[in-house]
Chains A and B, each alone.
Chain A
Amino acid sequence: MLRYVLRRLALLVPMAFIISIVVFVAMRMIPVDPGELVLGPWATAEQRELARQKLGLDQSIPVQYLRYVTTAFQGDLGRSIKSGKEVTELIRATVPNSLMLGGTALALAYLIAIPLGVVAAVRQNTLVDQGAMGFALIGISIPNFWLGLLLVLVFAVNLRWLPATGSGTAAHLILPAVTLGLQYTAIVARMTRSSVLEVLRQDFVRTLHAKGLRRGRIIYMHVLKNAVIPVISLLGLHIGGVVGGAVIVETIFAWPGMGALLVNSIIARDYPIVQAVLTLLGVAVLLANLLADVLYAAADRRIKM
């Protein structure tokens, strides 16, 4: 297992390079006028050229990339064109916020969704099942931006129980985490239900019943363990997603995370931030997939590393 993990980690290095090259070239392909970014639309041709030189954009793309990589290895990812802040500083400030929001939302989602999915499967075609899946359907169907604003309207504006926006306290986390988590809850609950139903129909479950094991023990010790593998696949995807930040939720709740940073930077064409964040996200997705693979093995010993 350890050797497998190390091998996968070593593979991350070339993958990260490939990601960084793709992102870097993509950022150079889109029309960006650095003179306009820095000086506004009234910049003269002379000023635009000065800006290009200052930002090193008068060099060829390979030279620019080499310079970028060299400085990146020294911990310098450049400065934001708009705010002037160092990109590393901005990432350091936003990653914990995104992890906190995403982690809470995922924890909330999985803690609710797995039991919900199991109950729905075990009581298939009952009111409990229909209620649980109806809830899941609503969760998948409601757009984040609408749910977020609705929760703000009810719990912040009318009831005044929770803050509408911002960060800093546990109370600030509740509404964005619920908004973000509901969607994950719905997806995971549906996946758990179908997976549990599939396992319940297998012969070994009948055998366990025949051996006289209690139903609860069969479900939680045997069925769930087998049914959880596809759910782990989802977890890998979801972790990759939350590291990137929940763009819409972060925007609605003015949550200072990576998603909001990325979107604002894309809109502003603040390319030093965009290329650093996108590369980081690519690596994060690779790591999340690695984690999922490790969890697979832990859940099912038959899977060889």
Chain B
Amino acid sequence: MTEAPRKTRMGRRALMKSAALLTGAAALPGPASAQETPVKGGVLRYGLSVEPQRMNQLNTTWMTDATQHIYDRLVTRTPTGEYVPHLATWTTSADGLEWRFKLKPGIKFHSGDPVTSEAVRWWFEQAKDPKGFFGFKGSYSAVDSVAVVDELTTSVKLKQPDPNLPFILYTVYSSIHNPKTYARLGKDAYGVSGVDGTGGFKLKEFTPGDKLVIERNDAYAWAPPFVKNQGPPHLDGIVYRHFADDASRTAAIEAGDMDIIVQPTLADVDRLRANPNFTVISKPMPAARTMYFNTEVAPWNDKRVRQAIAHSIQRKPIIDRLLFGQGVEAYSIVPPTFKDMYLPDTTGYFPYNIAKAKALLAEAGLKDSDGDGFVEFQGKPWEPEMLVIALSEITQLAQVVQAQAARIGIKLKIVQLDGQSISARTLAGDFGILTGFYLWDGPDTIMDWWLYSGNIPATNRSRTRSPEMDKVIEQMRASTTLPERMTHIKAMQKLLHGDLCTIIPIYHPLDIYVISKRVHGYAPNSATLYPRMHDVWLAKA
């Protein structure tokens, strides 16, 4: 066994320092003033754009902010992207096939039960249970067996080395639960009527459609090493409210009903930024809005046609006009903030070029023979459907793409559907082109899901079948070191965005937070999906 360094520098995840470079936001100190002394007490009112869901990752993949604060994980990630111990320190064997996690002593669940290695073993067993509903069990596929060594130590044996393990263990989807409470409440009620985690906040009330309330865990003494406040949180609690409408959410903070909101109306961001009562922080989401093709349907099965579309996309007007500047042009599925895995060359692969696009279409046999400005397919007028989710932002994007495709002679027909109908059609292969989206801080995993032929049709909906891509993905999975893994991730981008074009990225959206001046210590950064609350405090009114 070799002792893992206290701060294991996981280069791939050092990722997001460049968030600041892109927006200038993550480097901001946030609304906190370091000189002021934190005040204990007060309830933070937090306006969400997504309705809170059940807080049990074994039963859903849809997490909510509160899940971050109710539970802790074995591993955590610093604001600069390094993986460090949280509930446990760890060692790895020389061959990388055994990881031993040693829990810090004295950690207790909200119920008062001590956290033992049995809870860690239970978690690993649940995560890899083939009959379980855990959506990320694939990320635990390298885990072979788990055993309790002593009260605080757990041994995890792997089938093959997995340098990506700290990443999955850091995510909110690897939160540690009390197995006893889980068994007592049952899997349906756990995470709904009660939870038992180790986080700085406890669940107080969950009323779907109204609010989710969490309150301080006064026994909390195991905060992540990089936060200032190592004791219980300063706040008495947090009330989360969901606002389906962006304008209502924005009005709520302007009226003083909320202390923090996420995702205001994009048109209002600059106005709010100029308002001295608020601080606005924006950072690139680990996400991408894309369009992709059904590569089993002609003529989208011809990469020259897909490449022609790639040449037709002008991203800047989309960012400027549709998103009011609140987005980043995307040329790779991997956002540029993931510095160690992002391939900068992607920006130059298929630049906007109408002439080249038309030439590619002509090579593929798509020509405008009747002079109506649009190409024919197999000698007949061609108006392929583009499926879009019936949301205004997506529909507007589709209209721009439609107009841009028209410049190269492709007449797209926009078909608006709800998400489930689109999902059903994509699963059945009943589509040609559609808009896609992901939000997950592991874009390498997304590429694996979206591009490996073995994942057709559930996750590889473009039905990309490329022996070269499969080979690179298998090499990435089998990597034993992070640098090796990064090399393969970059190769995947080169192959996808420089040749296959089965998925075309359009933009990376921004996470935007509007924060009342009353709030101190709130500093979202790109290294975590859900901003931490340990150092947050409220000024007395």
A81, closest chain B residue (CB) = B60
Complex contact A163–B257 (CB within 8 A) = yes
Residues of A within 8 A of B207 (CB): 93, 256
Complex contact B243–A254 (CB within 8 A) = yes
Complex contact A251–B255 (CB within 8 A) = no
Residues of A within 8 A of B247 (CB): 149, 252
Residues of B within 8 A of A47 (CB): 133, 135
Q: Known: A264-B51, A264-B244. Contact between A164 and B192, CB under 8 A?
A: no
A47, closest chain B residue (CB) = B133
User: What class of interface size applies to chain A in its complex with B?
Assistant: 35 or more
A209 CB, min distance to chain B CBs, angstroms: 53
Instruction: Choose among A37, A79, A85 the residue with the greatest number of B CB atoms under 10 Å from its CB.
Output: A85
Give the interface segment out of A99-107, A151-159, A180-188: A151-159
User: A86 CA to B131 CA in the complex, in Å?
Assistant: 24
Complex contact A256–B427 (CB within 8 A) = no
Contact of A252 among B60, B206, B245, B423 (CB under 8 A): B245
- Number of chain B residues whose Cβ lies closer than 8 Å to a Cβ of chain A: 46
Complex contact A83–B255 (CB within 8 A) = no
Complex contact B53–A157 (CB within 8 A) = no
Asked if B383 CB lies within 8 Å of chain A CBs, one says: no
Asked if B118 CB lies within 8 Å of chain A CBs, one says: no
Residues of B within 8 A of A79 (CB): 188
Residues of A within 8 A of B244 (CB): 251, 254, 260, 263-264
Instruction: Choose among A39, A50, A163, A260 the residue with the greatest number of B CB atoms under 10 Å from its CB.
Output: A39
Q: Known: A40-B62, A93-B207. Contact between A85 and B192, CB under 8 A?
A: yes
Interface string of B312-327 (1 = CB under 8 A from A): 0000000000000000
Count A-B pairs with CB separation below 8 Å: 143
User: A37 CA to B188 CA in the complex, in Å?
Assistant: 15
Residues of B within 8 A of A263 (CB): 244
Give the interface segment out of A16-24, A28-36, A128-136, A234-242: A28-36
Complex contact A160–B209 (CB within 8 A) = no
Complex contact A156–B135 (CB within 8 A) = no
User: A46 CA to B134 CA in the complex, in Å?
Assistant: 12
B54, closest chain A residue (CB) = A84
Q: Known: A48-B458, A152-B255. Contact between A31 and B420, CB under 8 A?
A: yes
B335 CB, min distance to chain A CBs, angstroms: 19
User: A152 CA to B250 CA in the complex, in Å?
Assistant: 11
Instruction: Choose among A47, A90, A253 the residue with the greatest number of B CB atoms under 10 Å from its CB.
Output: A47
**Which residues 189-230 of B sit at the A interface, judged by CB distance below 8 A?**
189, 191-192, 206-211
Complex contact B458–A42 (CB within 8 A) = yes
B250 CB, min distance to chain A CBs, angstroms: 9
Asked if B395 CB lies within 8 Å of chain A CBs, one says: no
Asked if B487 CB lies within 8 Å of chain A CBs, one says: no
Asked if A272 CB lies within 8 Å of chain B CBs, one says: no
Residues of B within 8 A of A94 (CB): 209
A100 CB, min distance to chain B CBs, angstroms: 13
Q: Known: A84-B189, A85-B192, A254-B248. Contact between A165 and B243, CB under 8 A?
A: yes
Q: Known: A83-B54, A93-B209, A251-B248. Contact between A160 and B242, CB under 8 A?
A: no
Q: Known: A47-B133, A50-B131. Contact between A42 and B449, CB under 8 A?
A: yes
A203 CB, min distance to chain B CBs, angstroms: 54
B63 CB, min distance to chain A CBs, angstroms: 10
**Which residues 376-421 of B sit at the A interface, judged by CB distance below 8 A?**
418, 420-421
Q: Known: A41-B423, A47-B133, A254-B243. Contact between A93 and B210, CB under 8 A?
A: yes
Interface string of B436-476 (1 = CB under 8 A from A): 00000000000001000000001100000000000000000
Q: Which residues of A contact B (CB under 8 A)?
A: 30-33, 36-48, 50-51, 54, 79-80, 82-85, 90, 93-94, 149, 152-153, 156-157, 160, 163-167, 251-254, 256, 260-261, 263-264, 267-269
**14 contacts across the A-B interface (CB closer than 8 A):** A30-B421, A38-B59, A39-B60, A44-B138, A44-B459, A82-B208, A84-B189, A90-B209, A156-B254, A164-B255, A165-B241, A165-B243, A251-B245, A260-B244
